[in-house]
Amino acid sequence: MSESVSLPALGESVTEGTVTRWLKQVGDRVEVDEPLLEVSTDKVDTEIPSPVAGVVEQILVQEDETVEVGTALVTIGDGSGAGAGSDAPAAPQETAEPAPTEQPAPAEQQHAQQAHAEQPAQQQPAPEPAQQPQASAQAEVPSNAAETPAEAPAPAAPVDQPPAAQQPQQPAPEQAPAPAQAPAQAAPAQAAPAQAAPAQVASAQAAPAPAPVPAASAPASTQGGTTPAAPAAPQTTGSHAGSGYVTPIVRKLANEQGVDLSTVRGTGVGGRIRKEDVLSAGAGTSAAPAAAASTKLETSPLRGTVQPMSRLRKVVADRAVVSMQNSAQLTTVVEVDVTKVAALRNRVKADFEKATGTKLSFLPFFTLAAAEALKAYPVINATVDGENIVYPDHENISIAVDTERGLLTPVVRSASELNIAQLSQQIADLAQRTRDNKLKPDELAGGTFTVTNTGSRGALFDTPLVFLPQVAILGTGIVSKKLVVVQADGGDSIAIRSTVYLALSYDHRIVDGADAARFLVAVKNRLEEGAFDSDLGI
Q: How far apart are CA 382 and CA 374, in angstroms?
A: 9
Find the Cα–Cα–Cα–Cα dihedral 101, 102, 107, 110, rounded to 10°.
-110
**Helix, coil or strand: residue 354:** helix
**Helix, coil or strand: residue 17:** strand
138, containing H or E segment: helix 131-147
Residue 363, pLDDT above cutoff 60? yes
Work out whether the CA dihedral 171, 177, 180, 186 comes out positive or negative.
Answer: negative
Of the candidates 383, 441, 448, 379, the residue with the CA atom closest to the CA atom of residue 416: 448
User: How buried is residue 274: exposed, middle or buried, by Cβ count under 10 Å (0-12/13-18/19+)?
Assistant: buried
User: Could you report the per-residue pLDDT of 496-529, keeping only the tens digit for each?
Assistant: 999 999 999 999 999 999 999 999 999 999 999 9
Q: Which of 196-200, 364-368, 389-393, 407-411 has the lowest mean pLDDT?
A: 196-200
- Distance (Å) of CA 503 to CA 18, 452, 477, 517: 36, 10, 8, 10
146, 203 contact by CB (below 8 A) = yes
β-pair partners for 484: 495
91, 161 contact by CB (below 8 A) = no
C-alpha Rg value of the chain to the nearest Å:
32
Q: How far apart are CA 453 and CA 180, in angstroms?
A: 69
Reported as a pLDDT band with limits 50, 70 and 90, residue 244 is: low
408, containing H or E segment: strand 407-408
Q: What pLDDT is recorded for position 82?
A: 58
For residue 511, give every residue at least 6 positions away whose Cβ sits within 8 Å of its Cβ, in sequence order, or none: 379, 380, 471, 472
Q: How far apart are CA 500 and CA 480, in angstroms?
A: 7
Q: How many CB atoms lie within 10 A of CB 423?
A: 24
Computed over every residue of the chain, the mean pLDDT equals 75
User: Could you report the per-residue pLDDT of 382-403, keeping only the tens digit for each?
Assistant: 999 999 999 999 999 999 999 8
For residue 337, give every residue at least 6 positions away whose Cβ sits within 8 Å of its Cβ, in sequence order, or none: 484, 497, 498, 499, 527, 528
User: Could you report the per-residue pLDDT of 476-501, keeping only the tens digit for each?
Assistant: 999 999 999 988 888 899 999 999 99
Q: What pLDDT is recorded for position 343?
A: 96
**Helix, coil or strand: residue 389:** strand
Reported as a pLDDT band with limits 50, 70 and 90, residue 99 is: very low
Q: Which residues are catalytic?
A: 508, 512
User: Can you count the helices (H) and strands (E) in the chain?
Assistant: 17, 19
Question: What is the residue type of 489?
Answer: D
Q: What pLDDT is recorded for position 278?
A: 83
Higher pLDDT, 57 or 267: 57
Residue 372, pLDDT above cutoff 90? yes
| Residue 27 DSSP class | T
β-pair partners for 35: 49
Q: What pLDDT is recorded for position 39?
A: 86
* Entry pTM: 0.57
Q: What is the mean pLDDT of residues 466-477?
A: 97
Q: How far apart are CA 469 and CA 460, in angstroms?
A: 27
Find the Cα–Cα–Cα–Cα dihedral 22, 26, 30, 36, rounded to 10°.
20
User: How buried is residue 146: exposed, middle or buried, by Cβ count under 10 Å (0-12/13-18/19+)?
Assistant: middle
Higher pLDDT, 394 or 225: 394
